[in-house]
Amino acid sequence: MKKTLWVVVRGRVQGVGFRYFLLKQARNLGIRGWTRNLPDGSVETMAFGDPEVLERFLQVIREGPVGSRVESVEVQWPEGSFEFEDFEIRG
C-alpha cells in the first residue's frame, strides 16, 4: 500500500541545488510528487510511493546535497492517496 510523505526542510536549502538533488533522488527511487521553494527560504516536498522507499527518501532529504545545511525537517504522513504522474519541480 503506497503512502504520501509531506516535508518542509529548513536551513540553507535554497540556492544550493536542493530541489534538483531531490528531483534526481526521487526519480532514481521511483517516487512521484513535487518539490518547491517557499518564500520563507525553506523547501516543501510532497512524495508518493512505497513506505520503505519513502523512508529512504526521507533519509536523503535529511542529508541534503553538498553545500546545503539541513537544520530541521518537518514531516507529516497525510491520509489519502495523491497520485502524481512523475516527480517535478514547482515554482
Supply the residues annotated as catalytic.
19, 37
Selection from 3, 12, 87 nearest residue 49 by Cα:
3
- Residue whose C-alpha is closest to residue 33's, from 15, 11, 55, 7: 7
**What is the spatial distance between Cα 18 and Cα 64, in angstroms, rounded to a whole number?**
7
Report DSSP state, residue 80.
S
**Given CA atoms 63, 67, 73, 75 in this order, what sign does their dihedral have?**
negative
